[in-house]
Structures are given as structure tokens and as C-alpha cells.
Amino acid sequence: MKKGILIGICGASGSGKTMVAHSIYQQLGSNRVAIIQEDAYYKDLTSIPLQERTVRNFDHPDAFDHALLLTQIRTLLSGKSIAQPVYDYKTHTRTTDVRPMGPHDIIVLEGILIMYEAKLRELMDIKVFIDAPADICFIRRLQRDITERGREVNSVIEQYLLTVRPMYQQFVEPARQHADIIIPQGGKNLVAIDLLTTKIKTLLQERVI
């Protein structure tokens, strides 16, 4: 039986998905909300030489262990806890650590391909697509990958041109047709975030009743 509420937040890399997720977290309280990032479910590439890992397409659906993600989302929605995998972006491997999560009333799932997967979509109570200009997304991604993930400028640019942008056009952007809500400007759109959190509160009240 589904006890929790699942909010799916989809959009391009750098569109502001995480900022929207954390805004919901801050408004509704850490004791009620768990944020699950699709990135934590990248497939483990330990068996592949490091040089080959760096040129993998990390924006294709096959790069993710969506089967595990689906299983753990269902577990959280049933009111139980999970041991979420921890992914190392610098080595492209899954570490031996896990992150205990749950139980929570609200699960916020954010990622580039979460609305591409039909089985995940079916579990979502609200599907949100973050719409942001491509140049802004690229600049944010460039800054993040250099400061947080130890990447070089040229490698970020090359990856964006070879896989990030083409995969967005092929898989991510078409998923907006499934969205219940489209939010321009990401986390800076405070009006849209307030409306979203109000709707979530309404769903919570309905579940209690």
C-alpha cells in the first residue's frame, strides 16, 4: 500500500531541479521530506578502466540503475526506510558507503530522466518539469563540475556537446509532455514553488483523512 507522496522534478542538467527540491524541503520540514537524486543511482563502473569511464555517456537512460531506484522508491512510499547508494563522481564508481533514508511522508525525486521512465512516472503524485534557458544550464553545469567534481573546462565542454545536449533533446525535453506543472526559472520562481508546496500540503491532508 502506498503511504507516501512522490513528487518528481525533471529538467535539464543545471536547470535548477535541486534548488526547487530543497525549497520544498525547507518549506515542509526535514522530518517530512526526503530528497532522492537520480544521480545516486548511476551504474557502478568499477570493472571498467578509469580512462574508459570518463568517456561514457552519463546522460543516456542506460547509464542509470533505474531498477534499483524504482525498488527503493516503492519501499519509501510503503513507509519503510532504504540504504541509498553513494556515488563518487570523480571516479565514476559506487562507493561501499550507503545513506540511510526514510521513512518520510513526502519523497522528492529529482533527475534528468525520471519522467522518461514510465514505471517511475506512474508512482508520481505530481510531475514537475523545470524549464530554463540552455545557456544558463550550461554555465551552471560548468561551474558545478569544475568546483564540485574536479573536472577540467575542456572536458566539461566536450561532454556537453557530445552527450549532454543531444541526450537532452532526445530523452529529457520530450518528457515535459508528461508534466503536471512546468516551472520557468527553476528555484528562483518563488510563486510557482509556493503553489507547488500548497498542493503538496493539500495531498497530505487528503491522505490523513
Sorted by where each starts, the structural domains of the chain and their CATH numbers stand as 5-200 (3.40.50.300)
pLDDT of residue 50: 82
Taking every pair of C-alpha atoms in the chain, what is the biggest distance, in angstroms?
55
pLDDT of residue 151: 83
pLDDT of residue 90: 83
pLDDT of residue 53: 83
For the CA atoms of 161, 166, 167, 172, the dihedral, rounded to the nearest 10 degrees, stands at: 120
pLDDT of residue 1: 59
CA pair distance 197, 55, nearest whole angstrom: 39
Please check whether residue 110 is in contact with residue 18, taking contact to mean a CB–CB distance below 8 angstroms: yes
Residue 209 has pLDDT above 50, yes or no: no
- 34-56 per-position pLDDT tens digit: 999 999 999 999 989 888 887 88
In the structure, what pLDDT confidence band is assigned to residue 32 with cuts at 50, 70 and 90? confident
Query: Judging by beta carbons within 10 Å of its beta carbon (0-12, 13-18, 19+), is residue 77 exposed, middle or buried?
Result: buried
In the structure, what pLDDT confidence band is assigned to residue 180 with cuts at 50, 70 and 90? very high
CA pair distance 4, 27, nearest whole angstrom: 17
Residue 12 has pLDDT above 80, yes or no: yes
